[in-house]
Structure 1
């Protein structure tokens, strides 16, 4: 029975939850997630979780913060003056925005608080600081690069 190893391209159905059971993402009703194991395309804990699985196998994995999106970084939370927002924009907690750093890079941020003169923006990944739980089902394995063994 073929098992997933580093370099394999795999297709996986998943249901991602926080430790309190809140769903944050799922492939239900969509095509399975397709990626190369060990290729840096998914968080390390997800790569590790599918390694060794066989086609049709289902399992639940628990991914600690360090193997997910890392801890929340306080230096990624900033006060932004309200008067720098466009006049026609009404900031609301939870609103997703893109900031530009002046060098043409766009940084996704989320409004986490609104104060008298400033809006508090969080540039951390929304799942930073969270342990994650995934229900996985391995759908397919497409082997990595073929090896040629010379006699």
Structure 2
């Protein structure tokens, strides 16, 4: 239900998140879903030790269903040291993004360090891996991916 921007699919507003634990869990319950995995993006610069306990408390008070947070990490070296504390709080699923110039590119070694910190202490790291240079090049190259023979031709791709 979430894009990399943290916004729900029905409102891609950069820097804003339309749903919260209450509305997302209520929607899930109406659909018969009993557990949600919300993507939690801490505000830039806020320590996980502050953000996670507050968010867990909010979830316990306001969620209509069970939840298992997926903690998204910013390109912030200090967050690597906080991963064991997050795991001690019960957060075992993490996300790191890479590749986009506007988000502050980090080296592959940086992402490996985050992943190893999570794995070492029993967590799981999902790396949203992109090649930023390639992504930025494709629109200017006018490259179009091949289409299956059964797919309708794109009339707005010219």
TM-score range relative to shorter protein: under 0.3
- Give the TM-score of the pair, scaled to structure 1: 0.21
Whichever structure has more helix as a proportion of its residues is: 2
Task: Flag the structure with larger Rg.
Answer: 1
TM normalised by structure 2 equals: 0.20
